[in-house]
């Protein structure tokens, strides 16, 4: 298998390298990819959508249909991870570990055993985890700023590099950081599974709903200039606002999906303890 694989890889590579003879030169301004629709996007974006970041305008407006289904793909990836891995535990796990916060003493509770009544005991993962004060404190300080930055990236996608995908990933990463630095149960208390599932679907719904609203107002699907009458602005500004609305939808879906996939993978579907 190794030899066959090597021969296939070398042959394909050779064919592809032979094909590069016809390719445009590196950074050639007159390459075919830059001659067709791209000049229209660059020169007309400001007139048509009043969005300085051309990438955002093309992503959410000119190619909005494509991006809507990309969002649907991400949503379905989250659902697939859930369906593949999730196990609903009927009975309690074999044994649980608790740590006394003040003294650092760890006790093991077998199934059926009961914890001495006290507020000072905290459940910890079965794979022994040390009490790492520095990591927890730093993460707790950093997470609000990471989330603020994520919101900034979504909201300023019109004027600077950013948008729903990037901001959503940053927001999701902040919750994953919480799950890594504390434990999975802390992250689950912040964002429960049900919230994940609802947010995941809500983002796609916001995107598709905006498109359907345009349709109801008598315009094409995802033609945001239809929103001018709803938002009381001129059609060009309405397209800019429409882009923001769908970017928020994308951000919600991406954030929820990242967290959901992480939870399923880290705990192999048990949502009990993980990583």
Partner 1 sequence: MGDLIQTIIAKYNYWIYITLMMIGLYAMIAKNNLVKKIVGMGIFQTAIILFYVSIGAKRGATIPILEHGHGEQGHEISSHMVHAVDYINPLPHVLMLTAIVVAVATLGVALALAIRVYNRYNTLEEDEILEQIREK
Which spans of this chain sit near partner 1 (rule: CB under 8 A)?
1-2, 4-6, 8-10, 12-13, 16-17, 20-21, 23-29, 31, 33-34, 37-39, 41-47, 50, 52-55, 58-59, 63, 66-67, 70, 73-74, 77-78, 80-81, 84-85, 159-161, 163, 165-166, 169, 254, 257-258, 261, 264-265, 268-269
Q: Which residues contact 4 (CB under 8 A, 6 or more apart)?
A: none
Nearer CB in complex with partner 1: 75/98: 75
Q: In the sheet that 95-100 helps form, which strands lie side by side, from edge to edge?
A: 106-110, 95-100, 121-124
C-beta of 46: minimal distance to partner 1 in Å? 5
C-beta of 56: minimal distance to partner 1 in Å? 9
Query: Rounded to whole angstroms, how far apart are CA atoms 189 and 168?
Result: 20
C-beta of 163: minimal distance to partner 1 in Å? 7
C-beta of 120: minimal distance to partner 1 in Å? 35
Q: What is the SS3 assignment for 235? A: helix
Residue 58 DSSP one-character state: I
Nearer CB in complex with partner 1: 67/181: 67
C-beta of 29: minimal distance to partner 1 in Å? 5
Q: Residue 175: name the closest of 203, 142, 199 by CA.
A: 142
Residue 24 in contact with residue 211, Cβ under 8 Å?
no
C-beta of 176: minimal distance to partner 1 in Å? 12
Q: Residue 170: name the closest of 250, 94, 50, 90 by CA.
A: 250
Query: Rounded to whole angstroms, how far apart are CA atoms 71 and 208?
Result: 10
Q: Is 106 exposed, middle or buried (0-12, 13-18, 19+ CB in 10 A)?
A: middle
Nearer CB in complex with partner 1: 124/211: 211
Nearer CB in complex with partner 1: 181/253: 253
Nearer CB in complex with partner 1: 74/248: 74
Nearer CB in complex with partner 1: 132/234: 234
Q: Is 157 exposed, middle or buried (0-12, 13-18, 19+ CB in 10 A)?
A: buried
């Amino acid at each position: 298998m190794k030899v066959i694989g090597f021969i296939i890889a070398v042959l394909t590579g050779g064919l592809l390298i032979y094909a590069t003879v016809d390719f445009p030169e590196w950074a050639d301004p007159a390459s075919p990819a830059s001659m067709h629709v791209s000049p229209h996007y660059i020169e007309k974006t400001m007139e048509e959508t009043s969005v300085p970041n051309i990438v955002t305008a093309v992503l959410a407006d000119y190619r909005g249909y494509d991006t809507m289904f990309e969002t649907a793909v991400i949503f379905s990836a989250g659902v697939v991870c859930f369906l593949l891995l999730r196990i609903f535990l009927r009975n309690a796990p074999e044994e649980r570990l608790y740590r006394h916060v003040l003294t650092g003493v760890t006790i093991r509770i077998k199934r059926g055993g009961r914890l001495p009544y006290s507020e000072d005991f905290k459940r910890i993962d079965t794979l022994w985890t040390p009490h790492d004060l520095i990591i927890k404190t730093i993460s707790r300080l950093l997470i609000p700023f990471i989330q603020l930055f994520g919101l900034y990236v979504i909201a300023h996608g019109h004027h600077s590099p950013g948008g729903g995908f990037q901001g959503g990933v940053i927001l999701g990463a902040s919750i994953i950081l919480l799950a890594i630095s504390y434990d999975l149960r802390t992250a689950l208390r912040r964002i429960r599974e049900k919230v994940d599932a609802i947010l995941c679907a809500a983002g796609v719904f916001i995107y598709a709903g905006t498109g359907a609203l345009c349709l109801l107002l008598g315009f094409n699907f995802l033609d945001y200039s239809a929103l001018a009458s709803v938002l009381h602005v001129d059609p060009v500004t309405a397209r800019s606002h429409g882009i923001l609305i769908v970017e928020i939808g994308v951000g919600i879906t991406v954030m929820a999906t990242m967290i959901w996939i992480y939870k399923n993978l880290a705990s192999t579907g048990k949502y009990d303890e993980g990583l």
